[in-house]
Amino acid sequence: MTSSSPVLAIAAAAKSASSALRTTTTTERNELLYGIAEALVANAESIVAANANDVTAGEANGMTPGLLDRLTLTPDRLEAIADAVREVAALPDPLGQVVRGSTLPNGLLLRQVRVPMGVVGMIYEARPNVTVDAAVLALKSGNAVVLRGGSAAAHSNTEIVRVIGGALAAAGLPTELVQSIDEYGREGAVELMHARGLVDVLVPRGGADLIQTVVRESSVPVIETGVGNCHVFVDASADPQMARDIIMNSKTHRVGVCNATETLLVHADAAHLLPDLAAALAGAGVTLHASEAAREAIGAAAPTVPATDEDWDTEFLSLDIAVGIVDDLDAAIAHINQHGSGHTDAIVTSDVTAAQRFQAHVDSAAVVVNASTRFTDGGLFGLGAEIGISTQKLHARGPMGLADITTTTWHVTGTGQVRDGYTGPSSCETV
Amino acid sequence: MTSSSPVLAIAAAAKSASSALRTTTTTERNELLYGIAEALVANAESIVAANANDVTAGEANGMTPGLLDRLTLTPDRLEAIADAVREVAALPDPLGQVVRGSTLPNGLLLRQVRVPMGVVGMIYEARPNVTVDAAVLALKSGNAVVLRGGSAAAHSNTEIVRVIGGALAAAGLPTELVQSIDEYGREGAVELMHARGLVDVLVPRGGADLIQTVVRESSVPVIETGVGNCHVFVDASADPQMARDIIMNSKTHRVGVCNATETLLVHADAAHLLPDLAAALAGAGVTLHASEAAREAIGAAAPTVPATDEDWDTEFLSLDIAVGIVDDLDAAIAHINQHGSGHTDAIVTSDVTAAQRFQAHVDSAAVVVNASTRFTDGGLFGLGAEIGISTQKLHARGPMGLADITTTTWHVTGTGQVRDGYTGPSSCETV
């Protein structure tokens, strides 16, 4: 486990530090979080100064105004970030929860108990508030965290990690519970992806390219998050007004997020609804990438561009939408299962059989009947803070709360019981 | 997703077939399993004949008598395998279970429902009964399965898969639900490990080398199972008779399994118990690989060999045990967390504080107080059939039951709800 690599040394230090957090009480971890909130506000000046370096560099590198705005920290924004930390502190503690328990016939007591993962790795992109968010969610759930942020926010992240380190030290905890590997660049990130045995889980947060790289490269278990090629399917029996409200909200309420809709599919028998739907979308500034049949159905109601093959697989994250007509419900399900990212897909229908069939066959984290795709959200689902939205099937699927960066262990307590009798095959018998 | 690779074509066919199983009822899947049990018995002759080819090849290749015995199928053994299939059929269905549910303030109904993974990949070694076991556990939980068995059992596996295919066809289900890739050799196995998007989870079952290869190579999510470097720690306050019973059972009840103990650690203040413990182990034919201090404490009570550095990290799976003396409880915990495989570790103690500290700090799937390590078993824990014993922290930890090869999905049902208000940052906001 020892190595000359600084990143592996950091991961090893995180693993070692994590044992100090493992047995802290809920109160101690919450106090730590309140301390971090206070420290962020108290050190606003140095954080904003460090952030100014990143903003200046961003301007010089031609960063878009939107990204620059999201990169920028001000004392007011730090107050808001501190408030968010206090909200996490106030959430219920996932640790120590007894998930299952029983007493075996021989008197052995079994308890399956929720415990920390150990070390969580987070690889993410520009926004410096994610640094605070990731650190605080990890600490609340009893984990050490190794952070790899975007280089565009490197100065801000370094200062934020230093400030959090001060709060850790003040609480009598090792500063190695929150560490950054930003200075080791891309190679450092790759080493983190291979730190199996030191890092228990890696959560990439960012664009599709980042996430796919981590998924492909990593030998540490990964939770794939956040890519949403979401669909709204307007069934033959859809209420026209409801279809319009849902597609407009799913597409335009907020475009740069994973639960925004990227494809509209319309049942051939509801194609007459397309002109109205298209006009509404176009009226909101949406560019419609429409199939040939859809363009025909839309006619002069709204401008369209021809859909390319790639459009069906694209998470636009912009005021663009792919629009297609499908023969029937099963064709819609097949299209979604083939082209979707397994995030959130919705049907608008008045037909109870169609609704049931859609929910039974669409293989996504969230399958929605008669509501906007925008509802897939840890906060709205009542999970508290959101770590991310998992689009994989292992461990966690859909919005992830604090419990999703914990694991469980079986505590078995006896009075000297030994196993006798049966000595037949076992699933792990190998010799 | 399409490819000229036959293995990827098989995985794609499995994915496509899995949708047929997704909406079968519990009764239909159970009937399928009873049909498979019947078919195995009805086709005993052809299976035993195919198996004879493997046995003959095994003899020619100098396979050990133990492995040959485990490779061999007879009509009686097929009856026993068929009975095991019927037992799986009789287990509760994990599918359709509502894990959580609520109604949001806006009237949206949320249900988190247990659904199949889709396609499970299984990579395993010699025993042909694992072929039946893996297929039946996958089908019961609604999954298609792609099997890669050991080449030593290739004839048997081919015939078993053919027979299961007959039962699938008789039930009106696609035979692609159970497929083997044995004929594509090691490269085929590697392709399976990279069939991300087609295979949802890979479960390796076998020796440590096989499992490590799959974990390192695979870009498909893996559940790491079955390696058990288990420990028994005899605390200062241990009852001597209980310590002796537990160590004897943990080590000698069955040696070739992952929950057998491989290391005995004794508190320095209990070193006087070592001669008796060592004599009992040696009397049962166990070779003691003892540290210098332990050899001194054992003295003439039993023969010992010097422990090497590797012995502490070795899963012997034989009548061998590493024996060491530690200064105190914390040294025992540190040794276990450093050298163990995170499977099962036990303390023998009369001290409630020591018991609590051991359970709080040992980072393993099962942490046992005053009982044998041999109890970590899905059947004994009441999980029904055992898929394997996970030693990783993601998704499943410890004995895995049928529910552990399923996932969940959120069914969201509304009456036209759309999201309004807050449009601030989201965890998946990337642009």
In the DSSP assignment, the letter for residue A43 is T
Contact A411 B359 (CB under 8 A): yes
Contacts of B136 in chain A (CB under 8 A): none
Instruction: Give, in order, the Cα–Cα distances in Å from A73 to each of A34, A135, A246, B127.
Output: 20, 17, 35, 61
Q: Closest to A428 (Cβ–Cβ): which among B226, B382, B410? A: B226
Instruction: Give, in order, the Cα–Cα distances in Å from B298 to each of B118, B311, B312.
Output: 55, 18, 18
pLDDT computed for residue B430 by the predictor = 56
A415 phi and psi angles, rounded to 5 deg:
-130, 35
Domain boundaries, chain B: 6-225+387-411, 230-375
- Judged by a CB distance cut-off of 8 A, whether residue B207 touches chain A is yes
- Are B218 and A394 a contacting pair, CB within 8 Å? no
pLDDT computed for residue A26 by the predictor = 97
Substitution target from A393, A395, A415 for chain B, most B beta carbons within 10 A: A393
On the question of pLDDT at A321 being above 60, the answer is yes
pLDDT computed for residue B2 by the predictor = 45
Confidence of residue A3 (pLDDT cuts 50, 70, 90): low
Question: Hey, what amino acid is at B136?
Answer: V
pLDDT computed for residue B382 by the predictor = 85
pLDDT computed for residue A211 by the predictor = 87
* Nearest CA-CA partner of A50 in A146, A129, A125, A153: A153
The CATH homologous superfamily for domain B6-225+387-411 is Aldehyde Dehydrogenase; Chain A, domain 1 (3.40.605.10)
The top-level CATH class assigned to A230-375 is alpha beta
Q: Encoding tokens for residue B168?
A: 């699938």
Q: Encoding tokens for residue A214?
A: 């981590």
Contact A418 B253 (CB under 8 A): yes
Span A323-335, average pLDDT = 98
pLDDT computed for residue B206 by the predictor = 81
Contact B19 A317 (CB under 8 A): no
Give me the CATH topology for the region A6-225+387-410.
Aldehyde Dehydrogenase; Chain A, domain 1 (3.40.605)
A374 phi and psi angles, rounded to 5 deg:
-70, -10
In the DSSP assignment, the letter for residue B168 is H
- Judged by a CB distance cut-off of 8 A, whether residue B186 touches chain A is no
**3-class DSSP state for residue A409?**
strand
Instruction: State the sign of the Cα–Cα–Cα–Cα dihedral B315, B320, B322, B323.
Output: positive
Considering chain A, what is the average pLDDT of its residues?
94
On the question of pLDDT at A429 being above 70, the answer is no
What is the reported pTM?
Answer: 0.91
Those of residues 308-337 in A touching chain B at CB distance below 8 A are 317-318, 337
- Judged by a CB distance cut-off of 8 A, whether residue A223 touches chain B is yes
DSSP structure string for B328-362: SHHHHHHHHHHH--SSEEEEE-S-HHHHHHHHHH-
Confidence of residue A398 (pLDDT cuts 50, 70, 90): very high
Contacts of B414 in chain A (CB under 8 A): 368-371
Whole-angstrom Cα distance, residue A276 to residue A273? 6
pLDDT computed for residue A66 by the predictor = 84
In the DSSP assignment, the letter for residue A424 is -
Report the share of chain A in percent with pLDDT over 70.
97
Q: Closest to B397 (Cβ–Cβ): which among A215, A408, A430? A: A408
Q: Encoding tokens for residue B4?
A: 């000229």
pLDDT greater at residue A426 or residue A318: A318
- Judged by a CB distance cut-off of 8 A, whether residue B205 touches chain A is yes
Instruction: Give per-10-residue mean pLDDT for chain B (431 aa).
Output: 78 95 95 98 98 96 90 95 95 95 94 97 87 95 96 94 98 98 92 93 87 88 89 98 98 93 98 98 98 98 98 96 98 97 97 97 97 94 87 93 95 96 63 49
Whole-angstrom Cα distance, residue B47 to residue B156? 6
Distance from CA of A242 to the nearest CA of B (A): 6
Report the share of chain A in percent with pLDDT over 90.
83
- Are A118 and A176 a contacting pair, CB within 8 Å? no
- Judged by a CB distance cut-off of 8 A, whether residue B408 touches chain A is yes
- Judged by a CB distance cut-off of 8 A, whether residue A369 touches chain B is yes
Q: How many C-beta neighbours within 10 Å does residue B114 have?
A: 19
Burial class (CB in 10 A: 0-12, 13-18, 19+), B241: exposed
Distance from CA of B297 to the nearest CA of A (A): 25
Whole-angstrom Cα distance, residue B406 to residue A394? 8
- Within its chain, how far is the Cα of B180 from the centroid? 20
Strand A109-116 relative to strand A406-417: parallel, antiparallel, unpaired? antiparallel
Spell out the residues 6+ positions from residue A160 whose beta carbon is closer than 8 angstroms to its own.
Answer: A40, A47, A128, A131, A132, A135
Whole-angstrom Cα distance, residue B164 to residue A16? 49
- Judged by a CB distance cut-off of 8 A, whether residue A125 touches chain B is yes
Give CB contacts under 8 A, 24+ apart, made by B316-319.
Answer: B316/B255, B316/B262, B317/A430, B317/A431, B317/B255, B317/B256, B317/B257, B317/B260, B318/A431, B318/B255, B318/B256, B319/B251, B319/B252, B319/B255, B319/B284, B319/B285, B319/B286, B319/B287
Contact B376 A412 (CB under 8 A): yes
- Judged by a CB distance cut-off of 8 A, whether residue B407 touches chain A is yes
- Judged by a CB distance cut-off of 8 A, whether residue A394 touches chain B is yes
Q: Closest to B386 (Cβ–Cβ): which among A242, A417, A427? A: A427
- Judged by a CB distance cut-off of 8 A, whether residue B430 touches chain A is yes
On the question of pLDDT at A2 being above 60, the answer is no
- Judged by a CB distance cut-off of 8 A, whether residue A384 touches chain B is no
Contacts of A381 in chain B (CB under 8 A): 104, 110, 410
Question: What confidence tens digit (pLDDT) does each residue in A225-273 have?
Answer: 878 999 999 999 999 999 999 999 999 999 988 999 999 999 999 999 9
Contact A393 B200 (CB under 8 A): yes
Exposure b/e, A180-196, CB count within 10 A at least 16 = b: bbbebeeebbebbbbbb
Exposure b/e, A84-98, CB count within 10 A at least 16 = b: bbeebbebebbbeee
Contacts of B415 in chain A (CB under 8 A): 370-371
On the question of pLDDT at A1 being above 60, the answer is no
Exposure b/e, A407-427, CB count within 10 A at least 16 = b: bbbbbbbbebbbbeeeeebbb
Those of residues 269-298 in A touching chain B at CB distance below 8 A are none
Give the length of chain A.
Answer: 431
Those of residues 131-170 in B touching chain A at CB distance below 8 A are 133
Does the structure's ipTM exceed the value 0.85? yes
* Nearest CA-CA partner of A94 in A401, A388, A419, A427: A401
- Are A85 and A132 a contacting pair, CB within 8 Å? yes
- Judged by a CB distance cut-off of 8 A, whether residue A185 touches chain B is no
DSSP structure string for A347-405: EE-S-HHHHHHHHHH--SSEEEEEE-GGG--TTTTT-SS--EEE-SSSS--EEE-GGGG
- Judged by a CB distance cut-off of 8 A, whether residue B111 touches chain A is no
Q: Encoding tokens for residue A122?
A: 């987070």
Whole-angstrom Cα distance, residue A146 to residue A203? 11
- Judged by a CB distance cut-off of 8 A, whether residue B414 touches chain A is yes
pLDDT computed for residue B385 by the predictor = 81
